Chain A
Amino acid sequence: MAEALAEVLLVEDSPDDAAFFVRAFEQTGLAARLRVLPDGAEALAFVFGTGRFAALQPAANPRLIVLDLKLPKVNGLEVLRRLKADPRTRRIPVVIWSSSQEARDLAESCAMGVNSYVVKPMAFDEFGRSVQMLCQYWLQFNQAPEQ
């Protein structure tokens, strides 16, 4: 079986930020697929194969999850907590991708085992660079264990 294309999950409620992310991601030319989901509930349903993703084949297996913190329905920290609490999803690298520089957000994310915390830069150019760097890092440089 041909190896499936690596998948990156972006959980982002802002369509603008999502669009910028997608644009920057596409410019990297990485051999990966980017799936964008607009809220925490959708993200959990996708990862755990529930709800409208129950019939998804093959089952979701993202190589990287990029998670905004301020999300409708289930917020980013709660999504992180659930991912890290479950043995099936614990190993998936999760990068918090937020505007928040609040020390409390940072501390809580770390406590829950986040793999990286990146603040969304204000400036568009830097924003794009950050997206490219973090995707390249996690998909190209970081050595992930065999599934």
Chain B
Amino acid sequence: MQAEQQLKASLKEINDLKAALDEHAIVAITDPQGKISYVNEKFCIISKYAREELLGQDHRLINSGHHSKEFMRELWTTIARGQVWKGEIKNRAKDGSLYWVDTTIVPFLNEDGKPRQYVAIRADITERKRAEEAFRESEALFSKAFRLSPDCLVISRLSDRTVIRANDALCRLWSSRPEEVVGKPSREYASWLKEEDQQEFLRNLHARGECLNYETTVRMADGRLLDFNISSRMIFFNEEACVLSVMRDVTEHKRAEAAAAQLAAIVQSSDDAIIGKNLDGVITSWNAGAEKIFGYAAPEIVGQSIRQLIPPDRQQEEVKILECIKRGDSIRHFDTIRLRKDGSAIDISITTSAIKDPAGKIIGASKVARDITERKAAEAKIRQLNVELEQRVLERTAELESFSYSVSHDLRAPVRAIGGFARILQEDHAAALAPEAQRLLGRIHDNAQKMGQLIDGLLAFSRLGRQPLNKQPVMVSALVHRALEELQPEHAGRRIKISVTELPDCQADPTLLQQVYTNLLSNAFKYSRDRNPAIIEIGSRDEKGRRVYFVKDNGAGFEMDYAHKLFGVFQRLHRADQFEGTGVGLAIVQRIIHRHGGQIWADAAPGKGAMFSFTLEPKNVYG
């Protein structure tokens, strides 16, 4: 009875314990093969299976697959040996959700000492696990952020500045590996250039617990001086007062800033207007020079359209300028007119170039405008002076020509008289004259005749300057053939090869151009008379876009040293007893060519012939 009572009491005790256990823990019992024979209410709740669905089922029903084969094997061998297994297991509930349980598996042994059943007692630790995982993740994240930050990060002990942690950027800067720097005083790697900066920085740090965006210069171990922006904060790390510092290398930035400031100062101080505008023609910057030239202050005009400065009749210019800029082209020294604030016009010279962003995309234009009012006035003055000068030259030339014309005209009669009377003496009084007197009279006559030729040449030359130029389309080849025909008697009986090649038509005074060919060809015949055969070429060629006509012979030629004398009046390169002439022909030719606006020049060598080339139109200024 007492035993029964004792047993009853024991049973009650056990039931109470079981009830307490069920209240606290997740309990399951399996047979040695792992088949579930018992689950408590808590097991059903957490696994979301009904008890009937669990009993008799293999315990692997709730395996999550999270754990490795080794882990599971170790569990089973432990409990199969009759030992208690403790650990944390991740299981899968019926709906697929996962949960963590802190597990103790106790094998109950039979008389042989073999497991009879396994009792698993578990506690739900899903929340704790989640928190741990989150913490680990955030730890990893922050550690990564610390390590990989592009800024230099360091945690050092406040007392002696020993490095506790340093990130990759700092290690790179210090050219060391993280494990080398930890435990070393930071001054081994870098020190403040100015002691007073460091003192002030530390005072702030101590007073406020932090010092932010302090800029100073740091001398690196290798001697480099770098500018840093430093922010530090006091922190406690492993119960020690430490300093967390963020340091940014601003050396380049400061250099760029200084350069930009210098450029800005240069722009600002320029006398030229330097104006920025975007691709819509809206003004984005305006320097003091612009203010001086145009009269607008920067705040008045920035944000306005550049067209405000352009006279109504020149608006089209801006369209063209913007087109150019968008193509990436520049416009250099474009002289134009713009409007001041007061509406007055101003002569300016503009140079406009594209502004590109760092990627090379055109985002606007810079325009440098120079006030050229004075230059324009000076140019106008020069032009006026030129006109006056030209007028004066014309007047003087006309005076001189009419003088030389009348002088040479009046000289004709006496010269003819001298020659004439000498001849009359010879003819009518031959008997009364000694042979020597006869000879001398002949010399007088010849010289008078020569002087007459000179006077006629001078008259022809002078007449040319006063004759109006009658320009019209001319068939040059026809004109050359006429000149050749006219000269035929001069070289009758000589063996001469004449070749006339392409001679394009032109605009010229036909009479004068024929005179040019007559004189050039007459020279060519004259100076080639010792050649057998004489070869004379008449043609044209293209030279730098200009049509050049030429007459070439294989005659006596001349030394190029004297070429500059060739076209002067009465200038001769040959002695009169070699080749007769007055020295007027080429002067006339040059005068005709110049009156057409063309040029004439000669290429020759003694004994190798000469080539005279000329153009009939002014030089192409765009060539």
Contact = CB atoms under 8 A, between A and B. Distances in A.
Contacts of A17: 413, 416-417
A100 interface: yes
A117 interface: no
A125 B426 CA distance: 13
B456 A122 contact: yes
Interface string A16-43: 1100100100000000000000000000
Contacts of B412: 99, 120, 122
A126 to B, nearest CB: 10
A123 interface: yes
Given A16-B416, A16-B420, A100-B409, A124 B459 contact: no
B417 A16 contact: yes
Interface string A91-131: 00000000111110000000000000000101111010000
Sorting the interface of chain B by its residue count into under 10, 10 to 19, 20 to 34 or 35 or more gives 20 to 34
A14 B467 CA distance: 28
Nearest to B467: A103
A5 B415 CA distance: 34
A102 B463 contact: yes
Given A102-B463, A103-B467, A124 B419 contact: yes
B284 interface: no
A14 B417 CA distance: 10
Contacts of B419: 123-124
Majority SS of interface residues in chain B?
helix
A103 B462 CA distance: 13
Chain B CB within 10 Å, residue with most, of A101, A103, A122? A122
A16 B448 CA distance: 15
Contacts of A99: 409, 412-413
A122 B455 contact: yes
Nearest to A70: B409
A122 B420 contact: no
Nearest to A100: B409
Contact of A122 (B415, B421, B423, B463): B415
Contacts of B417: 14, 16-17, 20
Sorting the interface of chain A by its residue count into under 10, 10 to 19, 20 to 34 or 35 or more gives 10 to 19
B413 A124 contact: no
B424 interface: yes
A101 B466 CA distance: 13
Given A16-B416, A17-B413, A124 B445 contact: yes
A120 B423 CA distance: 17
Interface in B393-418: 409, 412-417
A20 B422 CA distance: 12
Contacts of B421: 16
A31 B415 CA distance: 31
B453 interface: yes
B463 A124 contact: no
Chain A CB within 10 Å, residue with most, of B409, B412, B419, B420? B420
Interface string B448-459: 110011011001
A97 B104 CA distance: 154
A67 to B, nearest CB: 16
Nearest to B448: A124
B445 A122 contact: no
B167 to A, nearest CB: 102
Given A20-B417, A124-B448, 14 more contacts: A16-B414, A16-B416, A16-B420, A17-B416, A20-B416, A100-B409, A103-B463, A122-B412, A122-B415, A122-B452, A122-B455, A123-B419, A124-B449, A127-B416
Interface of B: 409, 412-417, 419-421, 423-424, 445, 448-449, 452-453, 455-456, 459-460, 463, 467
30 contacts: A14-B413, A14-B417, A16-B413, A16-B414, A16-B416, A16-B420, A17-B413, A17-B416, A17-B417, A23-B424, A99-B412, A100-B409, A101-B459, A101-B460, A101-B463, A102-B463, A103-B467, A120-B416, A122-B412, A122-B416, A122-B452, A123-B416, A123-B452, A124-B416, A124-B423, A124-B445, A124-B449, A125-B423, A127-B416, A127-B420
Q: Which 7 A-B pairs have the closest CB atoms?
A: A122-B452, A16-B417, A124-B420, A124-B419, A124-B423, A99-B412, A123-B449
Interface of A: 14, 16-17, 20, 23, 99-103, 120, 122-125, 127
